[in-house]
Copies of this chain bind each other. A is one copy, B any other.
């Protein structure tokens, strides 16, 4: 099992926990909790694969079910203590964000797609699971409102594209990109940075 696999599974578990927690707070039943966790974990990658007409990754690779199940169990068992765990959860989620960005961007590169499309695929992989989670739970997607989240993913995808362009060693690309995404996210949350919001109350 490579370091890539360990990070991948960590990301899946973290996203499953984040989905399960939202569902638990909406008082869904056990099945609903599993579905939301599942959709949060694999939703982004599923949309990515459908958009580029690649076989959907979890249909081919059934082993993604187990870390999702683990995430749901952890969320249910620790649901009252997760307040204390929120720091580590945040770290896992951010690792997931970084890793999913890389996976999505790399798939775009391997399919010889335009750099803008590669960035889009990386960002969709990383953040669309959370969008689906929020839609299923009837909330406005959090990533449209919260601190620099998808933006960290976009910047990570750009960095990864540049590093790949210069054919650096793949592990260096992975580590450096993850580092960038995680650092941006940590700084944004620490200093409560947000993207500017313009709004209007004009009726059209």
Q: Which residues of A contact B (CB under 8 A)?
A: 21, 23-33, 35-36, 46, 50-53, 55-56, 59, 62, 65, 76, 79-80, 82-83, 86, 89, 113-114, 116-117, 131, 135-141, 143-145, 150-151, 154, 194-204
Contact = CB atoms under 8 A, between A and B. Distances in A.
Contact of A79 (B117, B138, B195, B198): B198
A75 to B, nearest CB: 9
A27 B83 contact: no
Nearest to A81: B202
B144 A35 contact: yes
Contacts of A137: 140
A15 B159 CA distance: 31
Contacts of A197: 27-30
A105 to B, nearest CB: 14
A141 B197 CA distance: 24
Given A31-B150, A80-B202, A82-B200, 12 more contacts: A24-B199, A25-B199, A26-B199, A27-B145, A28-B144, A28-B197, A35-B150, A36-B144, A53-B53, A80-B200, A82-B204, A136-B141
